[in-house]
Amino acid sequence: MSTQAENERIDMRWDGWGDPARAHGLPGGVKLLLTAVLGRTPAPPPGPELADVTISTPPLPADDLAALAAAVGPEHVDAGHDARLLHAGGKSTPDLLRRRQAEQAAPGAVVRPGAEDDVAAVLEVAAQRGLAVVPFGGGTAVTGGLAPDPGAHRGVVSLDLRRLSGLVALDDVAHEATFHAGTTAPAAEAALAAHGFELGHFPQSFEFATLGGFAAMRSSGQNSAGYGRFDAMVTGLRVVTPTGTLDLGRAPGSAAGPDLLRWFLGSEGRFGVITQVRVRVHPTPEARLMDAWTFRDFAAGADGLRRVAQLGTGPTVIRLSDEEETAVSLAQVGNIGKALARGCSAVVLHEGPADLAAARREATTRVLREAGGRPAAGRLAESWDHGRFKAPYLRDALLGAGVFCETLETATTWSNLAALKAAVTAALADGFDREHARNRILCHISHVYPTGASLYFTVIAGLGADPLEPWERVKAGVNDAIMATGGTISHHHGVGADHAPWLEREIGATGLRMLRAVRAELDPAGIMNPGALLG
């Protein structure tokens, strides 16, 4: 199997999302719509150029760099200004707002291990010398888990896993593929496609995120109704901790005590570094049947999705936009009649061998019709399909135009879904009101389970020229509302630094003690990502 490192990957914009060549301004129609909704939002002053940023934290001293160079080779240790700033955080809106500041914190050096042994060697150096280590995959984190937080240590090493890339092994009987953890999702799909297989994990971060990152953050993707959250795809992990290496996932099903593999799904680099990920794959789907539906309102649509999830009719994608999001989507699609504008739209995809995909679609169609759904113009689905990875580029354009834009997500049972949606919406609206910010709150169900669903919110607001602290206040109110209403603090973005203060309310004091006990056992020096998860 190919173990060739995939080194040629494009660095994302240091101060925004994605391929710099694909950055764009705000489309005229969106601009008009925003002015109507939010009023005039004066564009903020442009942020500094990369070269003009002052880094507030020193680079690692020469003796640290020499020790790290001995571990991975001098050409893979970089304490240069640009490399450090390219690893200064993730891609949440607060991260991007921080990239506009004249002075910014950054790790003391970037280290790029080329093999699992290199990772172990770096952790040894870091533990000996008192340096924190922040694992860095695709850099797409949105909950602050890549912040260069040294904890109690002298400095921070950003451990960039890009050289740990490529397909290690493909088992075309068991439908399992093993990848180095730094493999990006597109590189993984390309490697699998060459053998007629697909992973089918398509979060919005797809173009840049890595498989190790998906595992560490418990990612969920747009096709997770059909292929499962990334949690459900992972069948094996190799993890290098400061005090030993784990090789987990011995069988497809086991009762050999607690499933330790699950401990590292959601581990957020806090206990060690995921170096290999084994995943369940499936043959490239023969058929891809995409449909759009409309429902009278969100409650009716949610009821339809619930029935589909509970009967298990087998859609690959099933998502429902609320009335607000539907109206905005339709405004963007631009040419669909007013008749739909008061309802809710859903997008449904069925995949598989042609006969099975058709049978699944037929079963779902029957259920959605019974729930009061009506088939809608295919353009709606095509438009979603076409734009599925574009939202983060649009966010850059919005921020550039002075419009604050951010997303957040939670999940709960079907019976609690309406209450949670109302509570989060109210907390957002109240928070923005307190900040005197006109706003728009959009929501969709992004993922369904037999027992419940996720709610994914997108907010746009006129939060002023410096939205960082106002948003922190709004978000804190939302997190409190989620906890008070029985939701989870994160359905698929993770805990990071941003949600860490709420984790105890999620898992309890005893749960937190379990996390800390394992941290103390595997990482007694406390070097692993000190700012993430446990705060």
**Which residue stretch of 23-31, 158-166, 212-220, 387-395 sits at the interface with a second copy (rule: CB under 8 A)?**
212-220
- Per CB under 8 A, 506 contacts a second copy: yes
Per the CB < 8 A criterion, the answer to whether 522 and 172 are in contact is: no
Closer of 237 and 330 to a second copy (Cβ): 237
Residue 201 as a binder of a second copy (CB under 8 A): the answer is no
The distance of closest approach from Cβ of residue 163 to a second copy in the complex, given in angstroms and rounded to an integer, is: 24
Among 449, 464, 476, 480, binds a second copy (CB under 8 A): 449
Footprint (CB under 8 A) of a second copy, residues 350-389:
352-353, 355-356, 359, 362-363, 366
Q: Is 166 in the site for a second copy (CB under 8 A)?
A: no
Nearest distance from residue 429's CB to a second copy, in Å?
A: 23
Kindly state whether residue 54 participates in binding a second copy, applying the rule CB under 8 A.
no
Give the pairing of strands 131-136 and 155-160.
parallel
- In this structure, which long-range contacts are made by residues 162-165, counting pairs with CB atoms below 8 Å and at least 24 apart in sequence? 162/5, 162/6, 162/7, 162/9, 162/112, 163/5, 163/7, 163/76, 163/112, 163/113, 163/114, 164/5, 164/113, 164/114, 164/115, 164/116, 164/119, 164/212, 164/275, 165/4, 165/5, 165/6, 165/7
- Which is nearer to a second copy, 109 or 503 (by Cβ)? 503
CA 437 → CA 93, 152, 305, distances in Å?
A: 17, 38, 33
Residue 436 interacts with a second copy (CB under 8 A)? no
* Under rule CB under 8 A, residue 522 binds a second copy: yes
CB 332 within 8 A of CB 338: no
Is residue 163 at the binding interface for a second copy, with CB under 8 A as the rule? no
Among 37, 333, 391, 507, the residue binding a second copy under the rule CB under 8 A is: 507
Which region among 77-85, 436-444, 467-475, 511-519 touches a second copy (by CB under 8 A)?
511-519
Out of 399, 411, 428, 445, the only residue in the binding site for a second copy (CB under 8 A) is 411
Residue 173 binds to a second copy (criterion: CB under 8 A): yes
Element (H, E) at 380: helix 378-387
CB contact at 8 A, 329 and 321: yes
Contact between 217 and a second copy by CB under 8 A: the answer reads: yes
- In the complex with a second copy, which residue's Cβ is closer, 108 or 452? 452
Per the rule left: phi > 0, alpha: psi between -120 and 50, beta: everything else, 257 is left
By CB under 8 A, tell whether 311 contacts a second copy.
yes
Shortest distance (Å) from residue 135 CB to a second copy: 15
* Placement of tokens 């049972």 in the chain: 413
Report the residue from 245, 296, 300, 535 that binds a second copy according to the rule CB under 8 A. 245
What three-state secondary structure class fits 373? coil
Residue 291 in tokens:
């449909």
| Residues 72/118, Cβ–Cβ less than 8 Å | yes
Binders in 453-482 for a second copy, by CB under 8 A: 453-454
Quote the least distance from Cβ 55 to a second copy, whole Å: 30
Nearer to a second copy (CB atom), residue 77 or residue 411? 411
Q: Which stretch binds a second copy (CB under 8 A): 70-78, 287-295, 305-313, 458-466?
A: 305-313
CA distance 513 to 222: 34
Return the half-sphere exposure (C-beta side, CA atoms, 13 A cut-off) of residue 59. 18
Applying CB under 8 A, the span of 54-62, 84-92, 181-189, 251-259 interacting with a second copy comes to 251-259
Distance of CA 437 to the CA centre of its chain: 27
Single out the residue of 55, 394, 416, 480 in contact with a second copy (rule: CB under 8 A).
416
Q: Whose structure tokens read 């593929």?
A: 177
Q: How many residues of this chain interact with a second copy, rule: CB under 8 A?
A: 95
Nearer to a second copy, 104 or 223 (CB): 223
66 scored as a contact of a second copy (CB under 8 A): no
Q: Are 533 and 503 in contact (CB under 8 A)?
A: yes
406 with 468: CB under 8 angstroms?
no
Class of residue 128 by CB neighbours under 10 A (exposed 0-12, middle 13-18, buried 19+): exposed
Tell me if 268 contacts a second copy by CB under 8 A. Answer: yes
Interaction with a second copy in 477-496: which residues (CB under 8 A)? 486-495
421 binding a second copy? (CB under 8 A): no
